[in-house]
Amino acid sequence: MVTPHRDVASGRYQQAEFAADLWQVHLGEGTDEDKHPVEFFRRTYLTESLQRLLVGAVHRLAGQGGDPVVQLQTNFGGGKTHSMLALYHLLSGTAPSELLGVDSVMQQAGAKTLPTARRVVLVGNKISPGNPVTKPDGTVVHTLWGELAWQLGGKKAFQRLCADDEKATSPGDVLRELFNTYGPCLVLIDEWVAYARQLHDQGDLPAGTFETQFTFAQALTEAAKAAKHCLLVISLPASDTADHTADVEVGGQRGREALDRLRNVVGRVESSWRPASAEEGFEIVRRRLFEPLADPTQFTDRDVVARAFAELYRMQHQEFPSECRDADYEKRMRAAYPIHPEVFDRLYTDWSTLVKFQRTRGVLRLMATVIHSLWEKGDRNPLIQPAHIPIDDPRVQFELTRYLSDNWVPILEKDVDGPSSLPLRLDGEVPNLGKFAASRRVARTIYLGSAPTTTAANRGLEDRRVKLGCVMPGESPAVFGDALRRLAAAATYLYQDGPRYWYSTQPTVTKLAEDRAEQLKRDPDKVVHELDQRLRADLRKMGDFNRVHPLPGSSASHSRRACKPSVRGVSGTGLS
């Protein structure tokens, strides 16, 4: 058995804990996990990209090469701020031997000690461009470059660009001189777009004009490049200028213009960096949400579970996606344990396309809620599959609908999971399905794999992938195939196109027709009246006849002197 961290198991965690705050840490505030170097590294998985970033920092500040400027560019929640915190704590003065995983960084860097560095933190949404700040020593700071200088060396360093701070003009080469004087130094700039978009074209703010900000950006990057022991790290939102959905983080047209200008300046000297992959996400989530595997029996249990699933996928390979029969998939299950890789694939591949989901942060938020709910219920399943995500729990449902339109909530309650839902009713009516809660598990799996991609060209899940998200060793895939067919035939919002299935916010045409037919069956008199009205209207066209009897009540009313056609009504014909 794997045990969640105490805060996750007890539900005492706060969702805000998954959103690192660099400025709070710089002020000595925030959560213990974020502000204490030892605890931070204990619960941080050093991805390949993060290791490369830390190794480069050691090289750069030791004067042994390394990139002078690094741009961290990912979508919301992709790990930019967390990477900055890793740099901040690496150079905190804490002995490398106390920081979990840093021994590998030191080995790769070929270093035995870490350089002592001055750390500068500038967070754009925490610094006001309109209100000068008075420091404890009486220094009044107006601009970002004034704040940078004061953090580097207090009042003495600030005096070297005091005039530029007061007049809000870019300090130029003074920045290089400051970096050389007070180096080694680490400069971290987060939320720069949020700061720059507040500036005006006119010079009516203490922080300067919109244009001056980019002159400063160019001077800063060139100074960091020219200085001997300075590392400048800048985080920017990942945004395509043609993608207006990203305005959530960029902040409208002004923010988009600021982002484009900063990328043009920083991009001239920056080093590439990429966020965590889905496979690296396995370990990130496990470190943050579960206690580490320590007992040898836990490793044995993990391997037994992975082997049992792998055998299922190989023995019945025709029922599951082709990649599941490969040996690499068994390795993925061991790496993701106790969460099934399919959960990560759906979250990182599908849900991360939603602007507000925030990638790794979104995965952590959701899975912390899921794990707490399952732990609370005493769930004993060997892996957490898509089918086991308790969508009926209001806390989990909130995390799975907060990124979508509001009309998803009643769809979940009707067609996916809830006390009056169709899957629950089907499981109750069909004992073979109810034994495994098959309909409910199928519905949960389809929802997780289709809700965020309803507008995609290749939307939905194939039936084999639905079974991958449901079936456990010892269970028959055919049972879940039966549940899938029954759901597709009866659900209001479940669509099918060949082997692919997906939920949509619009009811299916077939279901609309069936619902309408059911309504008409309950009111046959209304049907008869409607048919009578339509027949009478049509019979006004008599053709070659002189007269037509529209819907006569009986044959007694027929005239025998002339041949006149008669059209009988539908009442009494057994309409049902």
d(CA 118, CA 26): 12
235, 229 contact by CB (below 8 A): no
Phi, psi of 270 (to 5 degrees): -80, 160
Rounded distance between C-alpha atoms, residue 292 and residue 2, angstroms: 8
Instruction: Please report, as a single letter, which amino acid is at residue 44.
Output: T
Q: How much is the pLDDT for 563?
A: 55
Report the range of poorest mean pLDDT among 18-22, 32-36, 451-455: 18-22
pLDDT at position 556 over 70: no
Check pLDDT > 70 for residue 7: yes
Q: Residue range 145-170: average pLDDT?
A: 95
Count of Cβ atoms closer than 10 Å to residue 424 Cβ? 19
Neighbouring residues of 5: CB distance < 8 A, sequence distance ≥ 6: 13, 288, 289, 290, 291
Q: DSSP code of 69?
A: E
For the purposes of burial, counting CB atoms within 10 Å of the CB of 347, is it exposed (0-12), middle (13-18) or buried (19 or more)? buried
Own/partner pairs for 313-317, CB < 8 Å, 24+ apart?
A: 313/468, 316/477
State the pLDDT confidence band at 551, using cuts at 50, 70 and 90: low
Alpha carbons 491 and 416: distance in angstroms, whole number: 9
Q: What is the pLDDT of residue 348?
A: 86
* Calpha distance 237→124 (Å, rounded): 13
Would you call 502 helix, strand, or coil by DSSP? strand
Half-sphere exposure of 420 (CA within 13 A, CB side): 4
What are the residue boundaries of the structural domains of the chain, listed by start? 22-271, 278-508, 523-567
pLDDT band at 292 (very low <50, low <70, confident <90, very high): confident
Judged by average pLDDT, the poorest of 107-121, 201-215, 444-458, 519-533 is 519-533
The partner residues of 69 in beta bridges, in order of sequence, read: 232, 270
| Residue closest to 188 by CA, chosen among 359, 64, 21, 361 | 21
89's tokens: 């704590």
Using one digit for the tens of pLDDT, what is the confidence trace for 22-73?
999 999 987 888 899 999 998 888 988 889 999 999 999 998 888 899 988 7
Q: List the single range of 123-137, 315-329, 435-449, 526-540 with lowest mean pLDDT.
A: 526-540
* Per-residue confidence band for 421, with pLDDT thresholds at 50, 70 and 90: very high
- pLDDT, one tens digit per residue, over 302-351 is 999 999 999 999 999 999 999 999 999 999 999 999 999 999 999 988 88
Quick: pLDDT tens for 231-249: 999 988 765 444 444 555 5
Backbone phi, then psi, for 111, in 5-degree steps? -120, 150
**How confident is the model at residue 572, as a pLDDT?**
47
CB 69 within 8 A of CB 266: yes
How confident is the model at residue 241, as a pLDDT? 41
Name 41's bridge partners: none
Bridge partner residues of 462 (DSSP): 500
Q: Compute the average pLDDT of residues 289-294.
A: 86
Is residue 206 within 8 Å of residue 143, measured between CB atoms? yes
Instruction: State residue 562's pLDDT score.
Output: 52
pLDDT higher for 571 or 496?
A: 496
Name the percent of the chain lying above pLDDT 70. Answer: 86
Residue among 434, 354, 429 nearest 399 (CA): 354
Which amino acid type is present at position 485?
Answer: R
Q: Which region among 118-122, 308-312, 428-432, 508-512 has the lowest average model confidence (pLDDT)?
A: 508-512
Across-strand partners of 502?
495
Distance in angstroms (rounded) separating the CA atoms of residues 529 and 533 = 6
Phi, psi dihedrals of residue 502, rounded to the nearest 5°: -160, 155
Average pLDDT of the chain to the nearest whole number: 86
| Whether 56 contacts 271, CB under 8 Å | yes
The encoded tokens of residue 204 equal 């009516």
Q: Which CATH number fits domain 22-271: 3.30.420.40, 3.40.50.300, 1.10.1040.10, 3.40.630.10?
A: 3.40.50.300
Look at residue 469 and give its three-state secondary structure: coil
Check whether 530 has a pLDDT greater than 50: yes
- State the pLDDT at residue 200: 84
Q: 135 pLDDT exceeds 90? A: yes
Peptide bond between residue 477 and the one before it cis (omega within 30 degrees of 0)? no
**Residue 244's pLDDT is what?**
45
pLDDT tens-place string over residues 388-404: 999 999 999 999 998 88
